[in-house]
Amino acid sequence: MRVADLHADYDFSGQTAVITGGGGVLGGEMAITLAWFGANVAILDRSATLTERIVAEVKGAPGRVELFQSDVLSTEMLQKSADEIRSRFGAVDILINAAGGNSPIATTTDELKFFDLSTEGLKLVVDLNLLGTILPCQVFGREMAENQKGVILNISSMNAFRPLSRIPAYSAAKAGVSNFTQWLAVHMAREYSPNIRVNAIAPGFLLGEQNRFLLLDQDTGELTPRGHSILNHTPLNRFGVPEDLLGAVLWLLSPASAFVTGIVVPLDGGFQADSGV
Q: What is the pLDDT of residues 125-173, one digit of tens each?
A: 999 999 999 999 999 999 999 999 999 999 999 999 988 889 999 999 9
Using one digit for the tens of pLDDT, what is the confidence trace for 108-129?
A: 999 999 999 999 999 999 999 9
Residues in the chain: 277
- Label residue 223 exposed, middle or buried (CB < 10 Å: 0-12, 13-18, 19+): middle
Q: Structural domain tally of the chain?
A: 2
Which structural domain, as residue segments, surrounds residue 221? 209-239
Q: Is residue 153 part of a domain?
A: yes
Q: Are 92 and 86 in contact (CB under 8 A)?
A: yes
Pair (7, 90) in one structural domain: yes
Tell me how far the alpha carbon of residue 13 is from its chain's centroid.
22
Does position 276 have pLDDT exceeding 90, yes or no? no
Backbone angles phi, psi at 227, to 5 degrees: -60, -45
Pair (134, 213) in one structural domain: no
Pair (223, 139) in one structural domain: no
CATH number of residue 253's parent domain: 3.40.50.720
Q: Distances in Å between the alpha carbon of 243 and those of 5, 156, 267, 275, 277?
A: 25, 17, 11, 26, 30
DSSP state of 270: T
Q: Are 1 and 13 in contact (CB under 8 A)?
A: no
Pair (102, 216) in one structural domain: no
Pair (262, 228) in one structural domain: no
Q: Is residue 95 part of a domain?
A: yes
Q: What is the rounded average pLDDT for all residues in the chain? A: 94
Pair (186, 231) in one structural domain: no
Please list the residues that pair with 151 across neighbouring strands: 94, 197
Backbone angles phi, psi at 19, to 5 degrees: -125, 110
Q: Which residues are catalytically annotated? A: 170
Pair (190, 262) in one structural domain: yes
Q: Are 15 and 40 in contact (CB under 8 A)?
A: yes
Q: Is residue 27 part of a domain?
A: yes
Using one digit for the tens of pLDDT, what is the confidence trace for 60-96?
A: 999 999 999 999 999 999 999 999 999 999 999 999 9
Pair (188, 63) in one structural domain: yes
Neighbours of 77 (CB within 10 A): 18
User: Whose CA is closest to 37, among 237, 250, 214?
Assistant: 250
DSSP three-state, residue 48 = coil
Pair (224, 245) in one structural domain: no
Pair (52, 141) in one structural domain: yes
Q: Is residue 274 part of a domain?
A: no
Pair (10, 114) in one structural domain: yes
Using one digit for the tens of pLDDT, what is the confidence trace for 184-204?
A: 999 999 999 999 999 999 999
- Separation between Cα atoms, residue 227 and residue 218, nearest integer Å: 12
Helical (H) or strand (E) element with 66: strand 65-69
Q: For the packed helices 25-36 and 246-253, what is the interaxial angle rounded to 10 degrees? A: 60
Q: Is residue 276 part of a domain?
A: no
Q: Distances in Å between the alpha carbon of 164 and those of 24, 84, 142, 171, 205?
A: 23, 40, 35, 7, 11
Q: Is residue 272 part of a domain?
A: no
Q: Is residue 82 part of a domain?
A: yes
Pair (152, 99) in one structural domain: yes
Does position 211 have pLDDT exceeding 80, yes or no? no
